[in-house]
A = this chain, B = another copy of it.
Amino acid sequence: MPEIPVSHPRRASLLARKRLVDAAAAGMLADSALIAHGRGEAFDYLLGEKTCPAANLAIREAAARLTAAEHPIISVNGNAVALAADDLLRCAALLGCPIEVNIYYRTAARMKALLGYLNGRKAAIKTGAPPTGWGKKRWQEVVENILILGEDADGIIAGLEGPRAVCCRNGIEKADTILVPLEDGDRCSALVALGKEVIVVDLNPISRTARIATITIVDELSRMAPQLIANLSEQTQQPLEEWDNDAARQGALQVMLQSLERDN
């Protein structure tokens, strides 16, 4: 792909697209991963490629729940790694939780590419600048301690069949609260049925995943991730007693409706 000018109004979207294309070339993605990304792009276009107020609230609540959880985890697929590996590793460091690579079209080559990439980024982040308020040494320690799971598929997501049920026993199986960007409907449903709190990032506010999840952040993953980090760094917020997830979805839906109606 050609260079993207710094002044381009859709630069962030084009950079995200480039990360996906690069990840595909590196063997990290399934065949249809770019198509899934394109579907997200269309909804983001309707969102105006901005984090909406409803998403901001959902990000804050997600940070509070992940912080309060006993066994939080971040589950990533190829697209999540391509879009936001660095920031998701930073979230794992701040939470002291593992990251599990969990993909539907599981092949040894893809798992190796994804685990290798995450381990490389972990090393880079360890020696990079720590977030505000963190000393260099403590940051290096927490990054060093991030467990990157996925290789041993020794666990199971009860209620699913076939390759989609595979997970790590000390990862998703044990977790009480899961940040799982870009999840599919069946798996989201199974995780919720197991009593876990499931936090998804989904640009389609009317998808099955968006409807089923405990918390739905209707936003673009690489755009919301720095805000999740900011909220996790503060760690002042307690989870709300009642979270109205339909309101979170509908807030984003309203923005999309307005952008379609503006033209009508």
Interface residues of A (CB under 8 A from B): 1, 17, 20-21, 24, 31-32, 34-43, 45, 204-206, 249-250, 253-254, 256-257, 259-261, 263-264
Minimal beta-carbon separation of A36 from chain B (angstroms): 6
Q: Are A45 and B39 in contact (CB under 8 A)?
A: yes
Minimal beta-carbon separation of A160 from chain B (angstroms): 16
Q: A36-B38, A205-B263, A253-B260 given. 8 additional CB < 8 A pairs?
A: A1-B31, A35-B37, A37-B38, A38-B41, A41-B42, A253-B263, A253-B264, A257-B257
Q: Are A204 and B31 in contact (CB under 8 A)?
A: no
Closest 8 CB pairs of A and B: A38-B38, A42-B42, A34-B34, A35-B38, A39-B42, A38-B39, A206-B263, A21-B31
Minimal beta-carbon separation of A93 from chain B (angstroms): 31
25 contacts between A and B (CB under 8 A): A1-B31, A20-B35, A21-B31, A21-B35, A32-B34, A34-B34, A35-B35, A35-B37, A35-B38, A38-B39, A38-B40, A38-B41, A38-B42, A39-B39, A40-B42, A42-B204, A45-B204, A205-B263, A206-B259, A206-B263, A253-B264, A256-B260, A257-B257, A257-B261, A260-B260
Q: Are B43 and A38 in contact (CB under 8 A)?
A: no
Minimal beta-carbon separation of A256 from chain B (angstroms): 6
Q: Chain A interface mostly helix, strand, loop or mixed?
A: helix
For the complex, what is the distance from the CA of A215 to the CA of B250, rounded to whole Å? 33
